[in-house]
Amino acid sequence: MKVFDLSKMQGLGSSHNGSFQFTRKGYAKFFGAIQHSLDAPFSEARGMQKRFRELATTGQFPAQVAQMFEKFKVGRGDVDLSWLTVFDTVDLNNTSASSYALADIQNGVSFKKVLAGEKARIYSLTGAETSIGFDQYGAGLEIPGVWYEDQRWWDIADNVQDYQLAWWEDLATVMFALIEAVPDGFYDGTTTGVDAGEGCNIDYAAAHSNTLQDDIEVINAGVVSLLNGLKTAGMRVNAATPLVLIHNIARAGRVRAALEQRRSTVYAGPEVLVPNIQAVTTLGLTTTAEWTGFEALDTVDELPLGYLAVPGRKSKYINRKSLKIYPPEFNTENYATKVMAWGRYGGVLNALQIRRLLASADA
């Protein structure tokens, strides 16, 4: 993750009496480069999101986006943006919106043949509206004055990078928490949504002689439950609707083995479904808990196999204000430049669009 070009730093100022002094334009370019580095991960991820949606709608999914999804992984110096594969992004930068209203449309839209002389049928969309607010987040960074004087640009770059990672890690924690907070219990397929007595769990039956076949079974059950549930609720889905299976890295081996086996003709168990499922590995989604069903015996205390989701649609990440640096101030008391940055965002996950796939049989 490059913060700024170290080879060009000399062009932003000059040394006087053993210390480095920025020109006015050089000072602006220096902090402009820091602002650009804060924006870069989100800009790149938005581009990948858009490309993923385009490929998914043209039937080129998942083969041509496999490498793209690898860019969402967590690595040294990278941020974890894998949660963006589940959410659509609404960018409200440069607006005055204080909240975002998301319509919960219950009735679908159908079409009627219009004969000569007839008027087109007009449909009104009904349903409750959910108002999503924005939380504000901010933090400060102090850069010692002697680092400027001694031209320790690499130390400044390292600290800016840590500052940036902290922002994106906190954001990821919030969005992963939304995914992990999907209701417990088992979804019963009603059109009222996932509420009391229902949930998003897919049970792990352990009905076969090996883990691979059982994993395939729970993924298949999740696909059927998810797509049928959305169809019942009036959302437009079909057997080719792209799905995302986001999972902790500890489950990567099992998930990938099951998905590869599902695409083969070797497996002789229940009918193998063929929707487009893209595996997304993350270091998030670490919660283990007691997933409870309708009966006391339907409990498992273990990390789930993963979360199967129809991405986007009514699951939203709302970027109200990207992390923005404000004019730095030099503090003479501790001889350091204080940099403050603030951002605002909100999010909502539509529980109808996701299933938690359990990873072991009921206790």
pLDDT at 127: 57
- Cα separation, 264 vs 233, in Å, equals 32
Tokens 């009966």 sit on residue: 295
Looking at residues 17-42, what average pLDDT do you find?
80
| Contacts (Cβ under 8 Å, ≥6 apart) of 304 | 247, 251, 285, 291, 356, 357, 358, 359
With bands split at pLDDT 50, 70 and 90, how would you rate the model's confidence at 67?
low
List residues bridging with 308 in a β-sheet.
245, 355
Query: Is the preceding peptide bond at 62 cis, omega within 30 degrees of 0?
Result: yes
The answer to whether residue 106 scores a pLDDT higher than 50 is: no
pLDDT at 308: 96
With bands split at pLDDT 50, 70 and 90, how would you rate the model's confidence at 329?
confident
Q: What is the pLDDT of residues 224-269, one digit of tens each?
A: 889 888 888 888 888 888 899 999 999 999 999 998 876 554 445 5
Domain assignment present for 353: yes
**Number of domains present in the structure of the chain:** 1
Spatial CA neighbour of 41 closest among 168, 208, 131: 168
- Cα separation, 163 vs 141, in Å, equals 7
Average confidence score pLDDT of the chain:
77
Domain assignment present for 227: yes
Domain assignment present for 8: no
Give the residue numbers spanning the domain of 167. Answer: 15-363
CA distance to 165, 237, 238, 339, per residue, from 139 (Å)? 12, 42, 45, 9
Domain assignment present for 2: no
pLDDT above 70 as % of the chain: 71
pLDDT above 90 as % of the chain: 10
The answer to whether residue 107 scores a pLDDT higher than 70 is: no
Q: Assign 116 to helix, strand or coil.
A: coil
Looking at residues 343-355, what average pLDDT do you find?
89
The answer to whether residue 98 scores a pLDDT higher than 90 is: no
Domain assignment present for 7: no
pLDDT at 351: 87
Q: What is the pLDDT of residues 1-21, one digit of tens each?
A: 567 676 777 778 877 666 677
User: 45-49, 130-134, 184-188: which range is least confident on average?
Assistant: 45-49
pLDDT at 65: 52
User: 48-62, 87-101, 232-246, 295-309: which range is least confident on average?
Assistant: 48-62
CB 80 within 8 A of CB 284: yes
With bands split at pLDDT 50, 70 and 90, how would you rate the model's confidence at 102?
confident
Domain assignment present for 223: yes
Domain assignment present for 10: no
* Consecutive H or E run containing 43: helix 24-57
Domain assignment present for 4: no
Looking at residues 201-226, what average pLDDT do you find?
86
User: 118-122, 168-172, 191-195, 208-212: which range is least confident on average?
Assistant: 191-195
The answer to whether residue 109 scores a pLDDT higher than 50 is: no
pLDDT at 104: 65
The pair of structure tokens assigned to 144 is 């010692």
Residue 12 or residue 113, greater confidence: 12
CB count in 10 Å sphere of residue 126: 10
Residue 121 or residue 338, greater confidence: 338
